[in-house]
Amino acid sequence: MKAKILLKHTLLASMAVGGLTGCSSLFDWVAARNLDQPEGTVMLAGLQQPVEIRRDEYGVPFVEAQNIADLTFGIGYAMAEDRLAQMVSMNLLARGRLSEMVGPLGVDMDVYMRTLGVPQIIAERYQAVGDELKTHLTGFSAGVNAYIETHKDRLPLELTLNGYTPEPWQPENTIGLFVMLNLGVGFNLHEELAFLQIAEKVGAEKTAYLAPIFPDEPIDLAEAGKLADVALAAQQLRPQLDFLSGIEQQMKRINGQGLAASNNWAVHKDHTANGASLVANDTHLLLSHPSTWMLMGARSPEYSGVGIGLPGIPALVAGYNGHIGWGETMVMADTQDIFLEQLRQRDDVTEYLYQGEWYPVQSRTETLTIKGEEPLTFTVQSTRHGPLLNPAVKGKPKHEMIPMATDSLYGLALSWTAQFPDTTIDSFFRLGQAKNLDEAEQALNGVGFIHLNVIAGDKDNIQWQITGNYPLRKNGTGHFPSPGWTGDYDWTGSWGGADTPRVRNPQAGFVATGNDRTVGPGFTPTLTSSWYYPERGERARQLLAERNDHDAANMVAMQADRHDLLIGKVQQLWQSDEWAALIDTAASRLTAEQQLSAEKTLNILMNFDGNLEENSRSAAVWGAFEHNLIRAIFLDELGPDDGRLWTALMAMNGRAYSGYQDHLLGRKTPGGDWAPFWDDVRTDATENPGDIIAAALVSTWDYLQQTLGNDDQQWQWGQLAYYHWQTETTHMLPWLSGVQKFAVQRLAKYTDRGPYPAGGNRNTLNVAGYSLGKDYGVWNIPAMRLVVDFSAEEPLQLVIAGGQSGNPASPHYDDGIDLWLSRTNRTLPFNNEEKVQAHFNKVKVLQPAN
């Protein structure tokens, strides 16, 4: 034992030296120790009968067992082989225990997760799980633990570098990952926090123009009016908002929190070339390495299918099971409301005001175990509206990274649909077992904790269905924060389940969603006021309506599409008499040299076909113009570009239909004036859109010459926009300093891949979301692409954005990148056993040891 401990410490010291000197060979040696051969026999206790883990040329596992207990065991073992470090880190994050592995860096995130009460939610959700599924989760845990037990001396690189030995996997850990998935697609909290940050400076009414609902809906001035008499002074809210903004950024980089996610569509058999339905899905998540998703096949008498899995969950999230195919997008649901609470301190008791009376907050104590430091104990306070998100409470600060408590007038309480009981994980498991769309619909009725557009199909039918529990509010929509002390905006219950919108076999012959509005304006009860940009959904429906002979190749081509419909809308708008006059008049006031630059930029924009391919010169000009225009519109009031308000604007633009695009499309006030941010407050004049656009046209040409060179014929969009596969560790660089930061930069040279030229943007079906107005690093991508063609013997085509393995020494760590970049899919067989065995031809057998 002493020898093993000495070896461990010597190894860690050597790796630290190797990392600081840029020696990737040592990292590779440590990573390679964790690799298993894909073939052979492993003797393991806990199995009833042998289990086969077959793998294909990309390392994708297909687990076969003679009963479901052994199947879940095998899935657990295979997932741990591929993604143990990812599973462990996500579980620690969910439980508010990340600092046990990473030290002080994880404290803020742990405080946040404990404040939200996620560990308690996990426990409550697990108690509600049915006995049958608890058995399956227990079997899965046994498989994960069998892997951990047999790899104690050769753990994955990330765990070895942190000196962290994972504890045994518990069945309820899977529930935690589902909760994290919900938190990732839980949406409006981020918009509300950004709203408060900006409203502090420019006022609630003006800030509402940065959070439009949809192009054809009015600005939500009624919601903003809730805060008209609320003083949003900096000294009252800034410490809380700054803290929460920092947490939000860290959480986003780890679990993609609050990202707009995905396209899906289905075509009825009557509109296909081969007389059988088609289903397609591509989920848009954070560009990370390894991918959020992994590929997986499974077969037992009780549960079978092939498709997308989430490491740590022994069920298919999307895929094909021999009967149906299905996939999901985010509804952009508003399931989180911020309530401003009036607080006071009385005899060491914090009280909050509600309907004229003061009530004591509820309190609980939480303790963090922090690697390398003493434990940290802090208090979480709650009102009737939920936990207070304030970063500090009266008394000793929780951590040196967290600001001291202030005498803030307001607390920020969070109401979240996590409070509503449901059977989500049981329902997802039943969805994978569904043999027809009736059974699929019934299973989805039980999904309450994840808010999705699920599109499903079988050979003859297609359907769309919204899932989730949604809050019922006394008043308002929850779009913006509400005063908590009046009681006027309280939640009165929930709705959802079998009552959510849905359709089967619509007359149009297809269904499609792209996080855009899927119901009529003003739909009640409110699903959300934070729909995504409409162009992706519009483009999908446009292409689906163009023909009645769709096939799988057509579905793949749609997923690869990089046409932005916004560009045509802008061209049409600028050709109107009103806008042409605005731009011409402003341009006439420019110098001759400026007019030449503006004219060259404008000619390219007006003749652009809207296809943002990597090698497109026109796309480079459009992308650079947008970069300069958003800065010209908003930077005067929300700058500087490295400040808190600009960061808040970036968050709002990236997550929902934005104030930038709404301004660009011609938004006016109810009184007929131009949307308010067109005016440059630094001048004495009142600018109109023509003035700002003309200035952006000039600056775009100069900007491109400085950025891409003077030869404008060589400009390409892919020289600006880029993909970069980076690990969670690399994503944390902004919060590191000194030797730690230097070491992680050295490690990144070994673990990260890219950059690669990118195509598309936020509006294209082949999405490439980046922080418009900041840089061109693409962080929101199709994390997987799935097509189910029911006319084919083997219907499923599927890829993920990266490799199957989380081990940098594995050939399957990055072999999926080139495939993903090619914008093609590949077939994963399931129906024909002979083809399954030929495709998944590397076989590992798990044999019962007892």
Under DSSP, the state recorded for 274 is: T
Residues ≥6 apart with Cβ < 8 Å to 331: 451, 452, 453, 466, 467, 468, 515, 518, 527, 528
**Does the pLDDT of residue 406 top 50, yes or no?**
no
Q: Averaged over 167-176, what is the pLDDT?
A: 96
Residue 735: what pLDDT?
76
6 vs 504, residue with greater confidence: 504
Angle at 329 between CA 432 and CA 273, to 5 degrees: 75
Nearest Cα neighbor of 454 from 260, 257, 281 is: 281
Per-residue pLDDT tens for 759-817?
999 999 999 999 999 999 999 999 999 999 999 999 999 999 999 999 999 999 999 99
**Does the pLDDT of residue 407 top 50, yes or no?**
no
DSSP E strand boundaries for 369-440 = 376-383, 386-387, 410-416
Per-residue pLDDT band for 390 (boundaries 50, 70, 90) equals confident
Angle at 273 between CA 268 and CA 279, to 5 degrees: 40
Residue 838: what pLDDT?
98
Nearest Cα neighbor of 686 from 699, 695, 697, 673 is: 673
- Please state, in angstroms and rounded to a whole number, the distance separating the CA atoms of residues 529 and 535: 17
Point out the residues that are catalytic.
Answer: 262
Residue 741: what pLDDT?
86
Name the strand (E) or helix (H) holding 629: helix 617-638
pTM of this structure: 0.94
Residue 345: what pLDDT?
86
**Does the pLDDT of residue 269 top 80, yes or no?**
yes
Per-residue pLDDT tens for 584-593?
999 999 999 9
- Please state, in angstroms and rounded to a whole number, the distance separating the CA atoms of residues 846 and 44: 7
Pairing type for strands 294-299 and 61-64 reads parallel
CB atoms within 10 A of CB 661: 23
Distances (CA, A) of 146 to 77, 84, 403, 678: 7, 12, 43, 61
Under DSSP, the state recorded for 423 is: -
Residue 18: what pLDDT?
41
- Give percent of the chain with pLDDT exceeding 70: 91
Under DSSP, the state recorded for 734 is: G
**Does the pLDDT of residue 174 top 60, yes or no?**
yes
Per-residue pLDDT tens for 454-501?
999 999 999 999 999 999 999 999 999 999 999 999 999 999 999 999
Residue 260: what pLDDT?
57
Indicate the average pLDDT of the chain: 91
Q: Averaged over 509-530, what is the pLDDT?
A: 95
Q: Residues at the annotated binding site for Ca(2+)?
A: 192, 334, 337
In the chain, how many H helices and how many E strands?
Answer: 28, 30
Per-residue pLDDT band for 583 (boundaries 50, 70, 90) equals very high
- Please state, in angstroms and rounded to a whole number, the distance separating the CA atoms of residues 113 and 95: 7
Q: Averaged over 294-304, what is the pLDDT?
A: 97
- Please state, in angstroms and rounded to a whole number, the distance separating the CA atoms of residues 801 and 725: 9
Per-residue pLDDT band for 570 (boundaries 50, 70, 90) equals very high
Per-residue pLDDT tens for 192-207?
988 998 998 999 999 9
The secondary structure of 581-604, three-state, reads HHHHHHHHCCCHHHHHHHHHHHHH
Residue 391: what pLDDT?
59
Residue 385: what pLDDT?
97
Cis-peptide into 481, omega within 30 deg: no
Q: Which two tokens stand for residue 810?
A: 């594995």
- Give percent of the chain with pLDDT exceeding 90: 80
Per-residue pLDDT band for 188 (boundaries 50, 70, 90) equals confident
- Please state, in angstroms and rounded to a whole number, the distance separating the CA atoms of residues 604 and 715: 12
Is the Cβ–Cβ distance between 533 and 657 less than 8 Å?
yes
Is the Cβ–Cβ distance between 846 and 53 less than 8 Å?
yes
Q: Averaged over 80-103, what is the pLDDT?
A: 95
Residues ≥6 apart with Cβ < 8 Å to 838: none
Per-residue pLDDT tens for 625-646?
999 999 999 999 999 999 989 9
Q: Averaged over 50-55, what is the pLDDT?
A: 98
Q: Residues at the annotated binding site?
A: 192, 334, 337
**Does the pLDDT of residue 440 top 70, yes or no?**
yes
- Please state, in angstroms and rounded to a whole number, the distance separating the CA atoms of residues 251 and 110: 10
Residue 750: what pLDDT?
94
Is the Cβ–Cβ distance between 498 and 545 less than 8 Å?
no
Residue 239: what pLDDT?
67
Per-residue pLDDT tens for 125-152?
999 899 999 999 999 999 999 999 999 9
Residue 14: what pLDDT?
38
Q: What is the largest CA-CA distance in the chain?
A: 87
Per-residue pLDDT tens for 222-234?
999 998 878 665 4
